[in-house]
Amino acid sequence: MQPGAFEVLATDGAARAATLHTAHGPIETPAFMPVGTKASVKTMDPDELAGLGAQVVLGNAYHLHFRPGEDVIAELGGLHAFMGWKGPILTDSGGFQVFSLLDTAKIDADGVTFRSVYDGAPARFTPELAMGIQRTLGSDIAMCFDECPPGGSERKVVAAAVDRTLRWAERCEATEPGPGQLRFGIVQGGVDLGLRRDCADALTAIPFDGYAIGGLSVGEPRPAMFHVTEETAPRLPADRPRYFMGIGDPEAILRVIAAGVDMFDCVLPTRLGRTGSAFTWDGRLNLRNARFARDPEPLDAACTCTTCTRFSRAYLRHLVTQHEVLALRLLTVHNLSFLLNLTRDARDAIRAGTFAAFLDASLTRLASH
């Protein structure tokens, strides 16, 4: 099928199992997308990542623009060839950096002036530049340049961000995409349901290939985050993919799937691996804890990843406390595997018509520790 074709294959309540077709192959949803900000999912070989079940990975236009530069990547065959990843790639526009680098960014109607995180030099980003970078990179899905206000911002600040996001979305849509490249718009509005509704309604009038829920998981209370997602997702077109930007703990993944979200990403599984922690059905484990020093059990008895089938908690704790690089790899393999398997099981449950029972059992199990 042509890039952009989106087939909803099964529903169970609001949850959906679908297939999004891209220039580098189909994405079966719900899908967790590992983050490879600088053209690398930290510690992971691309083939190993695919072996865990990852279908699509992320790159970041802001970071790749500065190092090594989109022109360098294009000269070397494009982002897929550069990083050795054969499947689909989604690139963030740099809009998140409007939030994360807000202390050094100046926002105006035309765009944003940053100070580079690499050398401190001023750098101007506009919607046209952000889309041009992504076109040159050759990603399969390019995100619109948007403004993500911090959690807890005053309503007038959020309203101004919504207005700029919509104006920038129109400019993003007016640019020329790369061959076969899909483009997603981003709904902003903080936790204000009225602003979310207005933004969603205006944004979906622009013919994007998919729509994202942005500006959540940035410091707002979790109940509010879930409520906004449940209210926003149904306002997005049923025949286009829905993407929640930046969510990656097991409970949250299950809840956004239940709300009708198809795609989601987060740095959490790799970040936890680098700090000595692991997802399990027994709760999040901190391997620095002395209670694991003689523990012969795997990280998670139900997990079949290579970390769990070969190594004990005691050994992993030893690697972590001795600052061995292998610890980062083994914990990252497990954390990614845990989330990718959870998402696959949710997808299978939707197709089987048993998602409601799967959701209840999984949330109960996660909450029991």
> Can you give the C-alpha Rg of the chain in angstroms?
20
Query: How crowded is residue 283: how many other Cβ atoms within 10 Å of its Cβ?
Result: 12
Among 140, 209, 249, 265, which one carries the catalytic annotation?
265
Task: Say whether 350 sits in a helix, a strand or coil.
Answer: helix
Answer whether 243's CB lies under 8 Å from 184's CB: yes
The DSSP symbol for 249 reads S
Is 265 one of the annotated active-site residues of the chain?
yes
Is 108 one of the annotated active-site residues of the chain?
no
Query: How crowded is residue 361: how many other Cβ atoms within 10 Å of its Cβ?
Result: 12
Task: Say whether 98 sits in a helix, a strand or coil.
Answer: helix
Query: How crowded is residue 91: how many other Cβ atoms within 10 Å of its Cβ?
Result: 26
Contacts of residue 18, defined as CB under 8 A and 6 or more positions apart, other chains included, come to: 6, 7, 8, 9, 28, 29, 241, 262
Among 92, 140, 146, 262, which one carries the catalytic annotation?
92
**DSSP per residue, 35-56:** B-TTSS-TT--HHHHHHTT---
Q: Is 8 exposed, middle or buried (0-12, 13-18, 19+ CB in 10 A)?
A: middle
Query: Could you list the active site residues?
Result: 92, 265
